[in-house]
Amino acid sequence: MYKRILIPIDNSRYSPWCTDLAIALARRTGAGLTGSHVYSAALHDRRFHDMEAGLPGPYRQEDRLRQSRKVHDSLIGDGLKLISDAYLDPFKKGCTEAGVQFDCRLQEGKNWLEIVRDERAGGYGLVIMGVLGLGAVNGSLIGGVCERVARKVTADVLVVKNGSPLGAGRIVVAIDGSTAAFSAFRKAAALAAMFGMDIEAVSVYDPHFHRRAFESLVRVLSDEARKVFRFQEQERLHDEIIDDGLGKIYQDALDEARAEGLKSGVGVKTTLLAGKAGHELCMYLKKDPPALFVAGRFGAHRTEELDIGNTAENLLRTAPCNVLVCGEKTAAPTGDPGSRGPGQRG
């Protein structure tokens, strides 16, 4: 499933959870692990020089400045490397004790940028990282590094929010009929089989949107425009046919997921919800948090220049569990209604 996995480590409370999940995957897939820490010596050096002008008079004397710069260079140049090595020690120990293949990387630069560059050059299939880092404050939903990495990488991203192990609890996967969703479902099913977990496919359709749209039209259409638009007929068509038809489209996608799971020997529970996808999924997950939520990076309504879909982006922030966002797109099953996507059907 994954041959190489990248684990950015920052010594936050999330780092041990990331390491545990990576080792669990490596033991079952044979994947090689890379623990990575990025430090910014250049940034500290610039900030130190910026502060020199504001130092008290005695400390701005050239001899004192020269000595301070020497001490600072030693602390930053060598000290940050020593600290980074210490951050990676628990990762090294865990991998060694588990007998999994691993290596470590220390990089100097801007943290999120170096992680993205490493992912693009290293051929990784998965990045595992904490939702927050050492800079987290009360009320933070997702850290800046995590969000930027999740947007920029092409590999799958497992965003870790708690220490729930794979093998405990269930996997919930979002299905909207798109090829990306079915690709994510196959990975979820593989993980469920690998770790002996239950899997549930959840689909959300919005029967209320068109009704709200028609209610807003009432306020702007003139009597003449209503006659041309045949407003009442259009409203009845949406109420009686299109809204109900949307539900069937998404139920068909769930049925395809269940059938595909059975072919792989995995039983799949299915759930159909009505409402706005991101909101309904979040509320559903909060009622009974799973061990893992899985979604495609994009859904049925992907457009050019989009780096991540709206539902995946929202759930990265709000889901009360670990979230796997899958970037790979593969063909949907033969005859699958998801091959065109709910937004592309008549």
In the chain, what are the domain boundaries?
Answer: 1-135, 164-346
The pLDDT value given to residue 13: 94
What's the chain's Rg over C-alpha atoms?
Answer: 25
Q: What's the confidence (pLDDT) of residue 331?
A: 36
Question: What percent of the chain has a predicted confidence (pLDDT) above 70?
Answer: 73
| Residue 160 backbone dihedrals phi, psi, to 5 degrees | -95, 125
Contact 5, 75 (CB under 8 A): no
Say what the pLDDT of residue 345 is: 32
Phi-psi region of 100 (alpha: psi -120 to 50; beta: other; left: phi over 0): beta
Mean pLDDT within 139-163 = 94
Is residue 342 pLDDT above 60, yes or no? Answer: no
* 235 has a pLDDT exceeding 70: no
Q: How confident is the model at residue 334 (pLDDT cuts 50, 70, 90)?
A: very low
Q: How many Å apart are CA 178 and CA 296, to the nearest integer?
A: 9
Query: Per mean pLDDT, which range of 71-75, 107-111, 141-145, 154-158 is the poorest?
Result: 71-75
Which residues are CB-contacts of 119 (< 8 A; sequence separation ≥ 6)?
6, 127, 149, 153, 154, 155
* Per-position b or e across 48-82, b if 16+ CB within 10 A of its CB: eeeeeeeeeeeeeeeeeeeeeeeeeeeebeeebee
Show Cβ contacts of residue 279 under 8 Å, excluding neighbours closer than 6 positions: 314
What is the homologous superfamily of the domain 1-135 according to CATH?
Answer: HUPs (3.40.50.620)
Q: Which residue has the higher pLDDT, 48 or 308?
A: 308
Q: What is the largest CA-CA distance in the chain?
A: 87
337 versus 73: the higher-pLDDT residue is 73
263 or 342: which leads in pLDDT: 263
Q: Give CATH superfamily name and number for 164-346.
A: HUPs (3.40.50.620)
